[in-house]
Amino acid sequence: MNRMLSRRAAVAGAVCATMCVCTQAQASVIPPDPGMTGGVMGQMGMYHGMISINPANEVVVHTGPGMAPAGNTPVLPLKFTPDTHPDYTDESGVGGPDWTVLNGKHYNAQLGWLAEDAGTWTVPSGSAIWIQPISVTGPGTLEVFEGGQGAASPLLPMSAHTLAPIFVGGQAWKWFDPDVVASNPAPPFPASGSGIMVHNWYVTDTPGLYEIQYRVYVGDATTGALDPTYTPAEATLSWVPEPASLMIVSLSALVLAHRRGRAR
């Protein structure tokens, strides 16, 4: 009898150990990077705000795919991935970001900021290029979290996405700082201040149409105060829900319009 109990205990221990190993192996759940090809939900193509400074000291921004590989042509407009993943995990204990900020939210990381003609222009030491939202419209709150360069690059893998909140209260975010680059001549560069491609995460709990107007300018590297010797640029970008959510939003608008019509 004792031998049988011992054998059962040993088997139970082995099963428990096996289950624990499986649980640990399956514990890490992170979202997909924005892909190099467009039109596939969860692997939507990259889109970029291409930033440069011309000889007249004007900041220039234009939007588009912004990279050479064929197939990196996203289907526009930029779309939110629906909140079908309530189980993203906190990777901070293993040197990664806390992905739980995306749980139960609609999100998009297609938009990246990227230097155009990198190496042909810069700003003086002590200055930096800042990005600031000057107008935000949409049916709910739109949060933005700092991203990285993506798993396809050895410079800033997904584990280097800080997911720190940015643009809070309309504050500017430092994208390029030549002193940061000079002090980090080899990878890994920090996610902020490097001037290389950074894909931020746009997150909301209210699906709908969102639009942000950005000012991109040269300012003091510490305070962000505008440098008037450089002319800022502006760029406007929009996000929409993925098709299923967009249909719900459209139906809701129709119902609301019908109710208003009856009320009259």
User: Per residue in 43-97, pLDDT tens?
Assistant: 567 788 889 999 999 999 988 765 544 444 555 678 888 877 788 899 888 777 8
CB 138, CB 210: distance < 8 Å: yes
Q: Considering the domain boundaries, does residue 60 fall inside one? A: yes
Give a yes or no: residue 12 inside a domain: no
Please report whether residue 231 resides in a domain: yes
Cα 132 versus chain centre, distance: 15
Q: Is residue 21 part of a domain?
A: no
The pLDDT score that the predictor gives to residue 172 is 96
In a domain, 91, yes or no: yes
Rounded CA separation 62/21 (Å): 49
Q: Give the total number of structural domains in the chain.
A: 1
135 within some domain? yes
- Residue 111: which of 232, 237, 10 has the closest Cα? 237
**Mean pLDDT of all residues in 107-119:** 84
Decide if pLDDT at 118 tops 70. yes
* Residue 9 located in a structural domain: no
Host domain of residue 81 = 34-263
CB 162 within 8 A of CB 92: no
The model carries a pTM of: 0.75
Q: Please give the pLDDT value at position 54.
A: 95
Residue 233 lies in a domain: yes
